[in-house]
Amino acid sequence: MKSVTEVFQPLQADDPVQVGDYRLAARLGAGGMGRVYLSHTRGGRPVAIKVVRPELADDPDFRRRFRREMEAARRVRGAYTAELIGGDAEGAPPWLATLYVPGPSLAEAVARSGPLPVPAVLWLLAGVAEALQAIHGVGVVHRDLKPANVLLAADGPRVIDFGISLASGVSSHTATGAAVGTPSFMAPEQASAAEVTQATDIFALGQTAAFAALGRPLYGDGPGVSVLYRIVHSDPDLSQLPEQLRPLIARCLAADPADRITAAEVVDRCRRLLGADLEAGVGPAAWREVKGPDPEIPPPVAEPTPLHVPPLGTWPYPPDAAAPVSAGGAGDDEGRRARRRRTALVTTAAVTAGALVLTGVVMLLGDAFGRLADRAAQGPSTGASRSADPSGSAGAASPGPGTGNPASGPTASASGGPSAQPTPEPYNGVFLDEKSSVGIRDGERRTDRRGDLRLVCDPGRCELESDSSVMVQLFGQEGNGLDMCRLMLRSATEHSWPMAAMAAGSRLCVRHPSGDIALLVVQVKSTYLPASSSDFVTADMTVWRNVFDRRSASSR
């Protein structure tokens, strides 16, 4: 679990200062959908701002799902949910705001302190079930309930990210109807891409409670495919659970959705099982010890003080100026003449400054049009893109469609003619283990080791490896995926990268000899030390075709 000092990270140069009406105070973390920041309402209440990744924001289907699910989630009200209070699906990039919950996730609390005591698990079950009642009451199914999406506040759990998982599609979702969710906490019907209902969330509730009681996933660890197979084809082993919890969790985990207990019945049973402990508040007291102290929340960011410039003609009189006298006197006429002279001087200075600025702009535009004319006269250059200019001006390009912030000028295709802006090709859920590989040119997972990228593990070390492609990791640089990768890959020479340097959310840029650039965002890393046969990595991969200027790299 993160310590109190690690909860809030300072903003870095690539972080936005403001999102919508919210000024950002600190980083909270990152997930499959984007970065999360701390901000405050106008009244000073802390909120969590989730800013969508550029790769997702460029997808029209994502924006449509995001808008629909955000509007549904906005209607959810409950004591055990982190209320959605704002957002903009049409923003650049899209974002949403929820009330900030000062407490660790259930996953972090268990990682730090181990399994929760039975009273705390019952209180957890009741609180999350009540949250599901509020979520289901407005027609929303969570679809991705898991320990990471349950926060432990001082007065009970809070469920987050309800209704948003379908929009993000970051776990196992594809455009052809595959499942959405996290494998270890899916229901059988969800794993087989069948109909998802409110009962699906009840199955995940049972798995989440079992995780809290055991300190590990009920269906074990390992590759997602293996976990899903066990969920679909085997009965859960509840023998390791505390006896008091087994009947209730078993009802949640019934294979047939129609046989599962309802959220209201879960609340009622938990109240009966808690008995006298309910009145004594044993449940919250038990996990207040688990959750640890609340972090000290950074204060709101002050609004910038606007620069006040007095209007023309209102400047104070200089010390040697003649004081105005009563109307009709000579001093009054002289004062008016002095004021007119000062106003004329100020006006002349302002007009002159404006003319100089305008002249500079015209000169810059003329120079730019001259360069464009020279380029047109010389003809297009093969495989070149303005963003890959060896002069290093990649960052000067203006935003455009497709990649979030590609070069504004026309790009060149592999044949040398003009083409549309680079279009990202997403490949979600890329899976790599020591028996497989993935191709960058086709995005296909291979069951042999002949693809462009492979996972190689030796005792004490795992790394991603390629025979022909070079790679580099992006550290603390959000920015635009394509532009940043193109810049960092200019001097890249490494054909392998250690997995020890990477975690969930880490980003790796890969340059294929063809000029294709791939950006891998790690979703799950299971590389144990020493190496074992169960080592694997899953990542979302985005590929841009023929966007790297090989001449600029070879000349460096």
CB atoms within 10 A of CB 68: 14
Range of 33-42, 72-81, 349-358, 501-510 with top mean pLDDT: 33-42
Q: What is the mean pLDDT of the segment spanning 53-72?
A: 80
Question: Could you tell me the CA-to-CA distances from 232 to 189, 196, 225, 252, 399 in Å, in that order?
Answer: 8, 15, 11, 15, 46
Token readout for 40 is: 């405050």
CA 92/CA 54 separation, integer angstroms:
9
- Model pLDDT, residue 213: 96
Nearest CA to 289 out of 150, 117, 131 is that of: 117
Closest CA to 526 of 516, 514, 540, 536: 536
The set of residues, in sequence order, having a beta carbon less than 8 Å from that of 321 and lying 6+ positions away, is: 338
Average pLDDT of the chain is 74
More confident residue, 409 or 139: 139
pLDDT for position 439: 93
Question: Bridge partners of 18?
Answer: 23
d(CA 208, CA 160): 14
Q: In terms of Cα–Cα distance, which of 440, 428, 433 is closest to 537? A: 433
Question: Given this model, what pLDDT does residue 260 score?
Answer: 96
- pLDDT greater at residue 315 or residue 42: 42
Supply φ then ψ for residue 497, to 5 degrees: -145, 130
Those residues whose C-beta lies under 8 Å from the C-beta of residue 119, and which sit 6 or more positions away, are 274, 277, 282, 283, 286
Q: 124 vs 6, which has greater pLDDT?
A: 124
38: confidence class by pLDDT, cuts 50, 70, 90: very high
**CA dist., res. 80 & res. 123, Å (int):** 11
Would you report the helix, strand and coil content of the chain in percent, each value rounded to 5? 35, 20, 45
Which residue's structure tokens are 């030390």? 529
Is it the case that residue 34 has pLDDT exceeding 50?
A: yes
Span 474-478, average pLDDT: 64
- Going by the DSSP 8-state scheme, the letter that residue 105 receives in this structure is B
Give mean pLDDT, residues 518-531.
72
**Residue 545 · residue 516 · CB < 8 Å:** yes
Residues ≥6 apart with Cβ < 8 Å to 234: none
| Backbone conformation region of residue 409, classed left if phi is above 0, alpha if psi is from -120 to 50, else beta | beta
Mean pLDDT, residues 27-42 taken together: 85
pLDDT class of 311 with cuts at 50, 70, 90: low
pLDDT mean over 66-73: 80
Rounded Cα distance between 249 and 129, Å, is: 12
The residue with greater pLDDT, 496 or 302, is 496
Query: Among 154-158, 187-191, 277-281, 399-403, whose mean pLDDT is lowest?
Result: 399-403
Percent of the chain scoring above 90 in pLDDT: 28
Is the entire prediction scored with pTM above 0.75?
Answer: no
Among 167-171, 283-287, 400-404, the least confident range: 400-404
On the question of pLDDT at 180 being above 70, the answer is: no
Q: What is the 3-state secondary structure (H, E, C) of 25-79?
A: CEEEEECCCEEEEEEECCCCCEEEEEEECHHHHCCHHHHHHHHHHHHHHHCCCCC
Judge whether residue 83 has pLDDT over 50: yes
Beta strands (DSSP E) in 73-170 are 84-88, 95-99, 150-153, 156-159
Q: Which of 228-237, 417-426, 517-526 is the most confident on average?
A: 228-237
Q: Is the pLDDT of residue 525 over 80?
A: no
- pLDDT by residue (tens digit) across 249-304? 999 999 999 999 999 999 999 989 988 666 655 555 666 677 667 777 888 887 76
Q: What pLDDT, on a 0 to 100 scale, did the predictor assign at position 150? A: 93
Annotated active-site residue in 15, 58, 144, 433? 144
The region of weakest confidence among 95-99, 331-335, 424-428, 429-433 is 331-335
> In the annotation, is 144 catalytic?
yes
- Whether residue 45 has pLDDT greater than 70: yes
- Is residue 459 packed enough to be buried (19+ CB in 10 Å), middle (13-18) or exposed (0-12)? exposed
DSSP assignments along 225-245, one per residue: HHHHHHHHHS----TTS-TTT
H or E element at residue 377: helix 330-378
* Sign, CA torsion 473/477/480/483: negative
Give the span between the Cα atoms of 431 and 537, in whole angstroms: 6
pLDDT given at position 326: 40
Other CB atoms within 10 A of residue 477 CB = 15
Nearest to 33 by CA among 77, 85, 98, 81: 98
Q: What is the pLDDT of residue 305?
A: 56
Task: Check pLDDT > 90 for residue 537.
Answer: no
Overall average pLDDT of the 403-424 stretch:
46
Q: What are phi and psi of 377, to 5 degrees?
A: -70, -35
- DSSP-assigned beta bridge partners for residue 105: 151
Q: How far apart (Å, rounded) are the C-alpha atoms in residues 375 and 94?
A: 36
pLDDT digits (tens, 9 = 90+) for 95-154: 999 889 888 889 988 998 899 989 889 989 999 999 999 999 888 888 889 999 999 988
Instruction: Specify the DSSP class assigned to residue 86.
Output: E
Predicted confidence band of residue 409 (pLDDT cuts 50, 70, 90): very low
Give φ, ψ of 85 to 5 degrees: -120, -5
Find the mean pLDDT for residues 341-357: 49
Any idea which residue has 């090709």 for tokens?
Answer: 425
Q: In whole angstroms, how far apart are CA 23 and each of 16, 44, 68, 305, 471?
A: 9, 11, 26, 14, 35
Count of C-beta atoms within a 10 Å radius of residue 508: 22
pLDDT at 165 over 60: no
Position 486 scores a pLDDT of 87
- At position 11, the amino acid (one-letter code) is L
Q: d(Cα 331, Cα 342) in Å, to the nearest integer?
A: 16
CB 28 within 8 A of CB 99: no
Q: What percent of the chain has pLDDT over 70?
A: 67
Q: Length of the chain, please?
A: 556
Residue written as token pair 């990270």 = 9
Give the strands of the sheet with 46-52, arranged side by side: 26-30, 34-40, 46-52, 95-99, 84-88
Peptide bond into 418 cis (omega under 30): no
Q: Is the pLDDT of residue 323 over 80?
A: no
Torsion of CA 108, 112, 117, 122, to 10 degrees: 0
**Residue 354, pLDDT above cutoff 70:** no
